[in-house]
Amino acid sequence: MKQMADQLNRALGRQRQGGAVMVLVAIALIGLLAATGLALDSGHMLLTKTRLQNAVDASALSAAKELWDNDGDMVAATAQAITTLESNFAAPGNEEIQDAYAAGNLTIAVEYSDTLAPFTPSATPPFVRVRVENMELVSWFVQAVGFNDKEAAASAVAGPSVGLDAGSCDLMPILACGCDPDDAGCTHGEVTGADGVTRDYHFGYEFAGDSMQADFSNAHVVKYAAGDSGELGAGNFRLLRISEDQQGGADIRERLAVAGDECLAISDEGDESTYAETEPGNTVGPVVQGLNTRFFGNTGGGPDLGPEAVADNVPTVQAEFEGVEQADGSVAAVPKNGATADQFFDYGEYKAESAAVCVGGCDPLGVARREMVLPIGVCDGDTNGHKPVEILGYACFFLLQPVSQQGNQAHVFGQFYKGCNTAGSFSMNPPDDDSPLPSQIVLYRDTGSGDS
């Protein structure tokens, strides 16, 4: 009897333990379900937030670019911001955002400010902020632990950067030799000539106006000659080092053809001045090939420079210049065959033609391919080999004609002008035509929002 009682007690104990285990398993399953639900729903929220942020970033950038190109027209910029949002919402993978937008469940605000920090809404450009709020996301698994709905929001601010300075990117690795405004004889700023005409100069270079001057004074030669000692010094012909791992002519060719996001090797040399490393050597061929892709595209005659090596979509030159050495050793842009000013296709005409070509949209890779940003520096004749050259400033540069190689030398002809950005697509008519400094449209963190 005692043995039977012990067996019964052991059986009952196992049943009680089994019931306790079942309770523990049930509690653990609820916790596991909650953790799994939290992970899945958090991932869903993060993915949607990322997609929403990408759309807002693109919208702010496009609105800022519209402001830049259209004299600060906030109506046009707002329309562009909404168009960009709608385009992104309709992209594959954004169906949930698109459905919320179509149902009118998103709160969208496009605001402007003339200051970045603080961003003051309802002020004036150039800064624009795009915000999307109240994006409700349905919770799935976490409903089991009492959570129902969650929301996503995104905010972005875009506008022009400050004028390019040390550490600048998107620059052409060709140096324009300029004069220091502190030196006697350097023409810099607005100057009224004997003819009563006021012209604007930048480190000795005259800016292009609305048309080519009759005396061709705003047509300049960015001399690249490999047949003499060079204005920088023996063995240097106005080329600059792009980066520490630059691979000679191949990198120069590609940079001149398609630009890029590499930064010039610029430093401050321990004082307040800015310096760039020179790149010595005879690379006339790569320079000609690189710059001429901007006129003709990647014609197949040289190395494959990738899909960005396309032709500009605006008609090219009618008349051409040639470089003629002057008594002081400088090289002047002189019309070939006695051409007159009205026969030249200058920056003013190019700007107008570009606007006409792009009506209704155009390939962004083929816009303003003849525009670039050059550093202007001191050419003292003593810079030999890989040595620093002082950078005075930067300016926007328009290529007047293709570069032709004559033996071991070539000249690059162009005009300096005011107002451009370095984001790949240059402004045709920026709000601030008084600024000689190039800048670029960039994204900023919205300091007034935790959703930026």
Per-residue model confidence as pLDDT tens digits over 329-379: 778 889 998 888 888 889 888 888 887 777 666 666 677 788 888 888 888
* Backbone dihedral angles phi then psi of residue 374, each to the nearest 5 degrees: -115, 140
Q: State the residue for tokens 């033609």.
A: 353
The pLDDT of residue 365: 65
User: How many domains would you assign to the chain?
Assistant: 2
| Domain end (from 109, 128, 160) | 160
Distance CA(424)–CA(421), nearest Å, equals: 8
Same domain, 246 and 123: no
| Domain end (from 160, 184, 215) | 160
The pLDDT of residue 423: 37
DSSP state of 141: G
User: Is 452 part of a structural domain of the chain?
Assistant: no
Same domain, 34 and 82: yes
User: Is 64 part of a structural domain of the chain?
Assistant: yes
| Other CB atoms within 10 A of residue 316 CB | 16
Q: State the residue for tokens 């920090």.
A: 117
For 211, residues 6+ apart whose C-beta sits below 8 A from its C-beta are: 341, 346, 348, 349
Q: Can you point out the beta strands (E) in 297-425?
A: 321-325, 331-335, 371-377, 388-399, 405-406, 409-417
The pLDDT of residue 29: 66
The pLDDT of residue 141: 56
Same domain, 235 and 107: no
| Domain end (from 101, 127, 160) | 160
Same domain, 243 and 333: yes
The pLDDT of residue 81: 92
Residues in the chain: 452
Distance CA(413)–CA(339), nearest Å, equals: 15
3-class secondary structure, 323:
strand
User: Is 101 part of a structural domain of the chain?
Assistant: yes
At residue 239, what is the residue type? L
User: Is 450 part of a structural domain of the chain?
Assistant: no
Same domain, 337 and 224: yes
* Backbone dihedral angles phi then psi of residue 16, each to the nearest 5 degrees: -65, -40
Same domain, 114 and 225: no
For 447, residues 6+ apart whose C-beta sits below 8 A from its C-beta are: 117, 118, 119
Distance CA(256)–CA(298), nearest Å, equals: 12
Q: Residue 417 forms beta bridges with which residues? A: 396
User: Is 43 part of a structural domain of the chain?
Assistant: yes
Same domain, 263 and 405: yes
Q: Residue 399 forms beta bridges with which residues? A: 414
Same domain, 84 and 40: yes
DSSP state of 68: H
Distance CA(436)–CA(89), nearest Å, equals: 38
Distance CA(75)–CA(88), nearest Å, equals: 20
* Backbone dihedral angles phi then psi of residue 52, each to the nearest 5 degrees: -65, -40
The pLDDT of residue 374: 85
* Backbone dihedral angles phi then psi of residue 296, each to the nearest 5 degrees: -115, -10
Spacing of C-alpha 22 from chain mean position: 62
At residue 406, what is the residue type? Q
For 222, residues 6+ apart whose C-beta sits below 8 A from its C-beta are: 174, 176, 238, 374, 397, 411, 412, 413, 414
Q: Which residues of the chain have pLDDT under 70?
A: 1-44, 117, 138-150, 161-170, 210, 224-230, 233, 242-247, 259-273, 300-302, 359-365, 419-440, 448, 450-452
**Segments forming the whole domain that contains residue 216:** 176-436
Distance CA(26)–CA(315), nearest Å, equals: 76
Distance CA(256)–CA(172), nearest Å, equals: 6
The pLDDT of residue 427: 34
The pLDDT of residue 402: 93
